[in-house]
Structure 1
């Protein structure tokens, strides 16, 4: 029995076009960060995203590209995870074709768009689309690694938006100890080099 090997692409959908950003009352770096990473419309379903990828591969590489994905039915493309709230997706594809899928995602520039009233946003080309950028964050051999990377990046984005540095699991505890030692040293006015060498600082 032959084991079919796949690749999992962790994809982030970004919205750099400021005209499509949701209206925010505060204009600052945090609101800009949130706007670029704004939620995707529920009109983008896993089936629709898989169809968009297959069509883009077919347009770029023709029958050869479609064959690499698994033939006319192109069953090799599966959307294992799609979150409109975080604009994140995990796409499974055959190992031999992951570069084709990656390049197709690079050239995809629109997703379906729905405004607050539930109606599509008309574009000059007549479609109801929202300009976007598909960014491949990680290519992994297992879905578990892709999920771990998605969680790690989500945590980092939350920390970045809040403007707080992440210090790890024991960051608060160690941070308090380091702060007490720093206060004691500043009170003495003298820095002992031996204590400085033995201090552990988590820079992760």
Structure 2
């Protein structure tokens, strides 16, 4: 019996047009375009196109059938891709060369490369938790700035609201339920 060996890539999709300026101290809300909704089928199609453009028919043929998206988070824009061990660097390069998703600029960051789904799940949970808590801290700072209660440099979140707790629990549950 032959065992197929895989690599799991934990990736973060950054949409620079949706990032706000952290040095801006104005109270007015900035109208920034929102991140496009990314679905698995569309992302796989974009990756295959990127492989074909950047590595030709041979690169697309080698990697094209050996990868799949295992997890995609709509909240933090992280995803886990499983690819054969021989071709993970080629897929990683194609991801790095990807510039647009849904007409919006994107930067793909590789956060973790692992040989087992379990280690990748733990890395994703840690990253998801950090991102959700940072978003809650930004929201809390914005509320305090509007109320003029706290200086700009205060990053402390004393207590989590129910929405943040639920989002953390839901994210961890989804990641741990993912099958290999």
TM-score by length of 2: 0.64
Structure 2 contact 76–132 (Cα < 8 Å) conserved: no
Cα 1:157–1:21, aligned 2, differ >3 Å: closer, same or farther? closer
- 2:143 is equivalent to residue 149 of structure 1: no
Question: 2:93 maps to what in 1?
Answer: 103
Which structure 2 residues correspond to residues 3-152 of structure 1 after superposition, within 5 A?
A: 3-17=3-17, 20=18, 27=24, 40-42=35-37, 44-69=38-63, 74-112=64-102, 129-152=103-126
Residue segments in structure 2 that go unaligned for 5+ positions in a row: 26-31, 138-154, 158-180
Distance 2:6 2:83 in 1: 6
- The structure showing larger relative contact order (alpha-carbon pairs under 8 Å, at least 6 residues apart) is 2
- Larger Rg over CA atoms: 1
TM-score by length of 1: 0.57
Structure 1 segments of 4+ aligned residues over 3 angstroms from their partners? 158-161
Distance 2:117 2:43 in 1: 18
Aligned alpha-carbon RMSD (Å):
2.6
Distance 1:39 1:142 in 2: 33
Structure 1 contact 39–86 (Cα < 8 Å) conserved: no
Distance 2:133 2:73 in 1: 20
Q: Shift of the alpha carbon at 1:39? A: 7.0
Residue segments in structure 1 that go unaligned for 5+ positions in a row: 29-34, 113-128, 166-204
Structure 1 contact 13–88 (Cα < 8 Å) conserved: yes
Residue 7 of structure 2 aligns to a residue whose secondary structure is strand
